Structure 1
Amino acid sequence: MNRKLFHYGAAASLVALILLTLAWELWLAPVRPGGSFLALKAVVLLAPLMGILKERLYTYQWSSMFILAFFTEGIMRSWGDSGLSQTLALWEVAISVVFFACVLGFARTFKRKPT
């Protein structure tokens, strides 16, 4: 597949996850009324953003492991929460899976061919 397609998918899903996290924890279904400090996890998602946007292979590699924390949080909150928070947690899982797949696809395009 095309490297650019994986790049755009990774960038779009990372931005979507940042926006979902902010909306979830500040307005849609915060843990505490009026917002919660869990919104700060969106700041953590900014760490790989520039490297992803600049197509740095190393960032793609380490962020493939980094995103698993958000996948795990989504699984746990979809299991433990109810209502809108549960739905948002499932969206977090889905977006994390898309990001993970795009990151792996992008990194795979750099695989050396045997000579």
Structure 2
Amino acid sequence: MPAVPSLSPPSGVPVAPSPLPPDAPTRVTRALAMGLLVGLVLLGLAWELWLSPTGRGTWAVKVLPLLPALPGLWRWRLYTYRWLSLLVWLYIAEGLVRAGSEHGTGAAMATTQVLVGVALFAACAIHVRWRLKRAAR
């Protein structure tokens, strides 16, 4: 029978430490951030294309800057959580302006956008804080 090669590195060879597995709080905040991001994209599309469109639905392109964040959140990229927590403030500001200027369905969509945006910011900020705190230990 042939010998099976060992999977361990030869002695004396330095081994890079494996990254820490995610703990419960970071898994929860990642799931929240991903769900809220998808919700914000779907809300923007539904709002501008079907529920209360402005113009010919061309404002639906406003969700395009959010799409590159999905792979970064999926891959646990800390940088993505940081820039997304800044980008989401543009959507919060738009929601605040439109909540005060529109009526009916448009105002309800704007208020929902503000709430989802603030929740997304909180999830990203808490995720970054916990990851940095854990890395410092």
Per the TM superposition, whether the score is higher than 0.5 is yes
Q: Normalising to structure 1: TM-score of the pair?
A: 0.92
Identity of aligned residues (%): 33
Residue number among 62, 69, 81 corresponding to 1:41 in the alignment: 62
* Aligned residues: CA RMSD: 1.5
Greater relative CO (CA pairs within 8 A, separation 6+): 1
Task: Report the counterpart of residue 46 of structure 2 in structure 1.
Answer: 23
Alignment of 1:1-115 (within 5 A): 2-32=25-55, 35-112=56-133
Gaps in structure 2 of 5+ consecutive residues: 1-23
In 2, Cα distance between equivalents of 1:12 and 1:112: 24
Count the aligned residue pairs.
113
Greater helix content: 1
**Which runs of 4 or more aligned residues in structure 1 lie more than 3 Å from their structure 2 counterparts after TM superposition?**
112-115
Structure 1 residue runs without a partner (length 5+): none
Q: Distance in 2 between matches of 1:111 and 1:54?
A: 16
SS in 1 for 2:127: helix
C-alpha separation between the residues in 1 aligned to 2:62 and 2:40? 10
Q: Quick check: 20-29 or 44-53, which moved more?
A: 44-53
1:41-84 Cα deviation digits (max 9, x unpaired): 12121021111121100100111101100000000000111110
Rg larger for: 2
TM-score, normalization by structure 2: 0.78
